[in-house]
Amino acid sequence: MTARAAELRDRGFDVITLSQGEPDFETPTAVRDAAIRAIHDGKTKYTPVAGIKPLREAIQKSLSRDHELAYGLDQITVGCGAKQVIFNALFASLDAGDEVVIPTPCWVSYPDMVALAGGKPVLIACDECHGFKLRAEALEAAITPRTKWLMLNSPCNPTGAVYSRSELQALAAVLRRHAHVHVLSDDIYEKLTYDVDFATMAAVAPDLYDRTLTVNGVSKADAMTGWRVGYGAGPLPLIKAMNLIQGQTSSHTSSISQYAAIEALSGGRKHIDEFASAFLQRRDLVVAKLDQAEGLSCRVPDGAFYVFPSCAGVIGKRTPNRKVIETDTDFAMYLLDAFAVAVVPGSGFMASPYIRISYASSLADLTRACDRIIAACATLS
């Protein structure tokens, strides 16, 4: 989709891209300034593999401040984005054939990362009627003696679903019966929730603290995707093993980015409120607009910056040149080729027929794009 969108743009089409997984905001000025200071202060050498101490202290403080979670500095590791932290954890812990339970729709990278680390992704489809969230019975049924991890992502990419405390407690009750299963809680969209409270497993179920890895970072809430700073906090043996792997791969993320991340985590957090309120306004606009698109139906997501409408109502319809829309990929291609709007088909997130629309774009672009989607749907018969 991205390649096709770029090709159309090169040919002069006014393509509106709603497929991006990153905020359109600039990194806050104070954070950029901290990075410039780090360069001038000569903070340009190798750092410890787990990350510089003041950054791990800032992470330690933020986990304590926001969730009353206590971690020693040696229980915290910093990597090149949450992505590397998750990969390190899987690579450090999976033996060939170990199973990882992944509720779907899920972020595209999870199943591939598990497979790359020699494990077996066990996908559990979570229905829209249950808010796209994993239910206790489904988790219970998926666990086998080979299950090593449950991967949870709240707020979720692509659905924006946010697990409540009680929903996490219900999952924790299942996990208590299966002491060999660990939880990877990917909280990267934590700060982007709208009118609901965020909760994370290690805080909700303190008795699972010893088998929970909490993953987070500055990419999304601090508009720092390119800086590549993510972190994990968890049991010491796991963190040590993750550091061993990182020590033989990337060593660590950029020293300059680490200094910038200290500012992001411990400086003024006003930018997060500003980003979140802009996202909320955009979400409401997109959901209201998509309501007018025939064949689409869109729940109101509680977090992240994506909507994940069902396009079941357009499947089986024909375009004006008589092509049948058979899949969500066909629909996404039609939106791109005929209306110059780039979205991501749900199949990429192991869920069909859906499309993911990122609302990390200006209100003006979102309005134009949604009008095109409404017009596209109206051409189908």
Nearest-angstrom CA–CA distance, 285 and 297: 14
Query: Is residue 153 a contact point for ligand PLP (CB under 6 A)?
Result: yes
Cβ–Cβ contacts within 10 Å for residue 296, how many?
A: 24
Residue type, 280: L
Between residue 21 and residue 40, which ones bind ligand PLP under the rule CB under 6 A?
Answer: 21
Q: Which segment (55-63, 78-86, 160-168, 234-242) binds ligand PLP by CB under 6 A?
A: 78-86
Helix (H, G, I), strand (E, B) or coil at 159: coil
Query: Is residue 303 a contact point for ligand PLP (CB under 6 A)?
Result: no
Decide: 224 and 21 in contact? Cβ < 8 Å.
no
Q: Which positions ≥6 away from 54 have C-beta within 8 Å?
A: 262
Query: Is residue 334 a contact point for ligand PLP (CB under 6 A)?
Result: no
Write the interaction track for ligand PLP spanning residues 171-210; mark x where CB under 6 A is met and - where it is not.
---------------x-x----------------------
Q: Which segment (64-72, 197-205, 217-225, 368-376) binds ligand PLP by CB under 6 A?
A: 217-225
Nearest-angstrom CA–CA distance, 131 and 113: 25
Interface residue with ligand PLP among 19, 60, 157, 329 (CB under 6 A) is 157
Nearest-angstrom CA–CA distance, 265 and 233: 15
Query: Is residue 257 a contact point for ligand PLP (CB under 6 A)?
Result: no
Query: Is residue 225 a contact point for ligand PLP (CB under 6 A)?
Result: yes
Nearest-angstrom CA–CA distance, 60 and 50: 13
Q: Which is nearer to ligand PLP, 252 or 317 (CB)?
A: 252
Interface residue with ligand PLP among 23, 51, 81, 309 (CB under 6 A) is 81
Residues paired with 193 in a beta bridge: 303
Q: Which positions ≥6 away from 136 have C-beta within 8 Å?
A: 170, 171, 173, 174
Residues binding ligand PLP (CB under 6 A): 21, 81-83, 107, 153, 157, 186, 188, 217, 219, 225, 230
